[in-house]
Amino acid sequence: MDIVSTHQKQKMHPHKFVMWIAIGSIIMMFAGLTSAFIVKSNQTNWNPIDLPHEFWFSTAVILISSVTMQLAVRAFKQRAMTTYRRLLAFTLVLGLVFVTLQWFGFQNLWSQQITFSGGGAGQFLYIIFGLHALHVLGGVVALLVMFCKAFFGKTKLYSAVPVEVASIYWHFVDILWIYLLIFFLIIGG
């Protein structure tokens, strides 16, 4: 009996497995897009762009949100539910601030006449950063669901799996953003 329970503890939870499969798929999508960017950037009519300052502020926000999310996971595992709720709410707010700053960054690009139809780096930036923003919005929705369950849920189930899955995804979109920002700084400029 001990061997079976030890073996079951070593297995990855199915929800975490599915999350890692989804992350692998997302990585492949962004790898393809950034590879296409590199190939297209060698064309003669290529127009490089400077990234708006709002993207730097949004980077700080998403890094802080990753820290608050990790602290929320720790608080949940310690059953410090008041702290968990506060940190989860703060992470949710930071996620919304990130998306808002991204919107202002895109408005800055529009004011510089960098549009999707303008070709060059701007076209790829809208696609790549836009897809990232959609993934962050998906994370914000997941955080919102967790927030509602934490504050209004009646179930007292202390399974950390949903919190860990959301945390894995949130850290992933953070790391993905850092990669994309560095990519556009080095290759796109």
Per-residue pLDDT of 180-189, as tens digits, reads 999 988 886 5
- For residue 159, the model assigns a pLDDT of 85
pTM equals 0.86
- Give CA separation, 32 vs 41, 78, 90, 128, 130, in Å: 14, 41, 33, 10, 15
- For residue 60, the model assigns a pLDDT of 97
Rounded CA-CA distance 68/90 in Å is: 7
What is the tens place of the pLDDT at every residue in 31-40? 999 998 888 8
- For residue 139, the model assigns a pLDDT of 94
* Inter-residue contact 167 to 16 (CB < 8 Å): no
Rounded CA-CA distance 42/142 in Å is: 39
Weakly modelled stretches of the chain, pLDDT under 70: 1-9, 118-119, 154-156, 188-189
- For residue 186, the model assigns a pLDDT of 85
Of 132, 127, 104, the C-alpha closest to 115 is: 127
User: Would you identify the CATH topology of the domain 48-186?
Assistant: Four Helix Bundle (Hemerythrin (Met), subunit A) (1.20.120)
Rounded CA-CA distance 22/125 in Å is: 23
- For residue 5, the model assigns a pLDDT of 54
* Inter-residue contact 92 to 64 (CB < 8 Å): no
Count how many residues are written for the chain. Answer: 189
Of 180, 179, 184, 177, the C-alpha closest to 95 is: 177
- For residue 118, the model assigns a pLDDT of 67
